[in-house]
A and B are shown apart, each in its own frame.
Chain A
Amino acid sequence: AQKVTQAQTEISVVEKEDVTLDCVYETRDTTYYLFWYKQPPSGELVFLIRRNSFDEQNEISGRYSWNFQKSTSSFNFTITASQVVDSAVYFCALSGGGYGGATNKLIFGTGTLLAVQP
Chain B
Amino acid sequence: EAGVAQSPRYKIIEKRQSVAFWCNPISGHATLYWYQQILGQGPKLLIQFQNNGVVDDSQLPKDRFSAERLKGVDSTLKIQPAKLEDSAVYLCASSRGTGGYNEQFFGPGTRLTVL
Contact = CB atoms under 8 A, between A and B. Distances in A.
Contacts, number: 64
A109 B108 contact: no
B103 A50 contact: yes
Main SS of chain B's interface residues?
loop
Chain B's interface size range is 20 to 34
A31 interface: yes
B65 interface: no
A104 B108 contact: no
Contacts of A43: 89, 108-109, 111
Instruction: Give the most central of A33, A93, A104: most B CB within 10 Å.
Output: A104
Interface residues of A, number: 30
B43 A108 contact: yes
B101 A44 contact: no
Interface in B20-51: 33, 40-45, 48
Instruction: Give the most central of B41, B100, B109: most A CB within 10 Å.
Output: B100
B100 A45 contact: no
A114 B44 CA distance: 21
Contacts of B101: 33, 50, 52, 97
B91 interface: yes
Contact of A45 (B43, B44, B98, B102): B43
A47 B98 contact: no
Interface string B92-115: 010000111111111111010000
Given A4-B42, A43-B108, 17 more contacts: A33-B100, A33-B101, A43-B89, A43-B109, A45-B106, A46-B106, A50-B101, A50-B103, A97-B100, A97-B101, A98-B98, A103-B100, A104-B100, A105-B33, A106-B33, A106-B43, A108-B44
